[in-house]
Every structure is written in C-alpha cells, then in structure tokens.
Amino acid sequence: MKKEKLRGIFRAGVCLAASLMAVMIGVYLLGAIIGRENIDSALNGHLIQKDPVKGAFFSCMISMTQNAAFIGTTIVLARLVWKKTCLDLGFTSLRKDWRELVTGIVLGSISITSVFLILLLTGSIKIIPFHGLQEKQVRILFLYFLSYIFVGFGEETFSRGGLMLALKETKSKLLVLGIPAIVFALLHISNNGVTMLAIGNLIIFALLAGYCFYKSCSIWLPIGFHIFWNFMQGSIYGLEVSGLDNSSLLEAKVVKKTVLTGGKFGPEGGVGATISLVLAFLYVIIHYRKKTEGEFFHE
C-alpha cells in the first residue's frame, strides 16, 4: 500500500510539473506573438482601464492559452502515460449527467450572489448607477465569459481530473481530496492581495469541487460551479476575482473595508465567501448522500 501511495503522489507531482511547464511555454509563445508588454499590461489591469475591449481580449487570450495547456497536458498524461480515458477524468456523458452541470451552474450563481448580497446589505459595498448596456459592454462580457469557461474547464480538468486521477492509486480519501485542494490554493498564491483567509477559502472551494468528483465520478458539477462563480462575481457584480479586476455589467465600489470584503483579493478573501462556501459544501453533501462511499476507487 505504501508503494501505491508513493507512486500516486509521484504521478501527481509529474502532472503538476508538466502542466506548469506547458503553461509557461504557452504564455511565452503567446508573448512572442502579441507582445510581452500586452500580456503584462493585461495581467496588472492597466490595459483594462485604458482600453476595456482590448484588455478583455488579451485577458481572454492569456486565459485560453494557460488553460488549454492545463487541459492538453492532463489529457496527454491520462491517455498516453496512464492509459486512462476522458471518462476517467470525469467527462461523463452530458446526456446522462446534464443535471450535474445545471446544478453546478445554479449552485455557483446562488453562492456568489449570496456573498454579493451580504456585502451590499452590510454596507461594505455600493453599486454605481447603471446607465444601460452598450454594444462595447456586450463584447467585453462575451470575452470574459469565454475566458471563465476556459478557466473552469482548465482548472477543474487539471486539479480535479488530473491530480485526483493520479492520486486514485493511493486509495486514500485524504490524499485524493487534500493534495489537489492545497495545490489549487497555492496556484493563486501570487495573486494580488492574497491572505491566509483567501487561501483557506480557496481550499474550501477546492474541497467542495473535489468532493463532488469523488462522490459522482463526474466533473460537470465542479465545472458549472467554477465558471458561474467567477463569471457572476467578476463580470456581473463587478467584484475582484481572486485578486484580478475586470470590466463588468455592474460596478461595485468598496466603501467599508471589513473582514467581509477580502481586501484587494476580493470577496473570495472574506468571511462572506467562507460562509457561502461552507453552506454550498453542506448542500453537495446532501445532494450526494445516496452515493455509495468509495465508488471513486473502483475501476
């Protein structure tokens, strides 16, 4: 059993190293095409403030490149090295599991909306008056939605599909859920304004997503939750997404810095997100209560 655990951890390490290398190569090549200065300006938010459409476009290009690298590396390792299929990565038939995707979309939307309402009702934020949806905003929203789709698929395919599949051999629920959650949180360690509470919330988020995959062997609920948590947070409510700012339908302004707002990292670094994620976790525990424990480890 010890040998299997070590082999599983080694596989996860290879998956992490190969994926990060692919991301770095991808971003380097993208920089050679569109200019390194455009990448830096998009990442630090300067381009978004200067030219929102151009900023959204380059942010989308960066996101697509990074997450295509995550997806591609994970699939290559699974198919060619581990001799597994996309089904093993959690990509079950949507005809059968479409309810999982819809549940994730609804749960992610409700969860982040509850955080937004907590901030609004406590006077931590205020909404700048809305002057109508213009064509430019529609293009920006589309680009960010596309970006968040890639983020949802990329991070879930890697963190849940790849790492959890690699650790499956350990037969340890603690390792299968714990290691990917910690890795997922640490991937955001360099984001603007990150705090220990933010890291804690990211771990809860990852444990929630991992538990869904562990119980259902399907990745669709985590993907739906991830996409709409980010999209609603950043592009609809105008809140920072893991320390990253972007153009949005509404414009929220922090008027009172509290443990709820999360500072520069955004509400994901606040207590409101902690409460919302814990409640969402309780829901998925109830949602999967009839699933037999240990099905994930069955071939």
**Using one digit for the tens of pLDDT, what is the confidence trace for 118-149?**
999 998 888 886 656 677 788 888 999 999 99
Residue 86 neighbours by CB under 8 Å, 6+ apart: 75, 78, 79
What is the average pLDDT across 159-185?
Answer: 95
The answer on pLDDT for 22 being more than 90 is yes
Read off the tokens for 294.
């240990």
The number of angstroms, rounded, from the C-alpha of 229 to the middle of its chain's C-alpha atoms is: 8
pLDDT at 193: 84
Please provide residue 252's backbone torsions phi and psi, each rounded to the nearest 5 degrees. -100, 135
> Rounded to an integer, what distance in angstroms lies between the CA atom of residue 58 and that of residue 54?
6
Pick from 252, 247, 225: which is nearest to 235 by CA? Answer: 247
Residue 207, domain extent: 2-297
Q: How many domains does the chain have?
A: 1
The 10 Å Cβ neighbour count of residue 33 is 10
The rounded percent of the chain whose pLDDT value lies above 70 is 95
What is the average pLDDT across 230-249?
Answer: 80
The answer on pLDDT for 294 being more than 60 is no
> Average model confidence (pLDDT) for the chain?
90
> Rounded to an integer, what distance in angstroms lies between the CA atom of residue 124 and that of residue 162?
38
Residues constituting the chain: 299
Query: Which parts of 157-172 fold into alpha helices (H)?
Result: 163-167
**Proportion of the chain in helix, strand, coil states, percent, rounded to 5:** 75, 5, 25
Read off the tokens for 181.
């959650």
> Rounded to an integer, what distance in angstroms lies between the CA atom of residue 213 and that of residue 217?
5
pLDDT at 227: 98
pLDDT at 127: 86
pTM of the model: 0.93
pLDDT at 98: 96
SS3 252: strand
pLDDT at 243: 59
DSSP run (H or E) holding 45:
none
What is the average pLDDT across 238-260?
Answer: 77
Q: What is the largest CA-CA distance in the chain?
A: 62
> Rounded to an integer, what distance in angstroms lies between the CA atom of residue 31 and that of residue 26?
9
pLDDT at 4: 86
pLDDT at 292: 67
> Rounded to an integer, what distance in angstroms lies between the CA atom of residue 50 and that of residue 60?
16
CB 170 within 8 Å of CB 4: yes
Residues 35-83 have pLDDT tens digits of 888 888 877 777 777 888 888 898 899 999 999 999 999 999 999 999 9
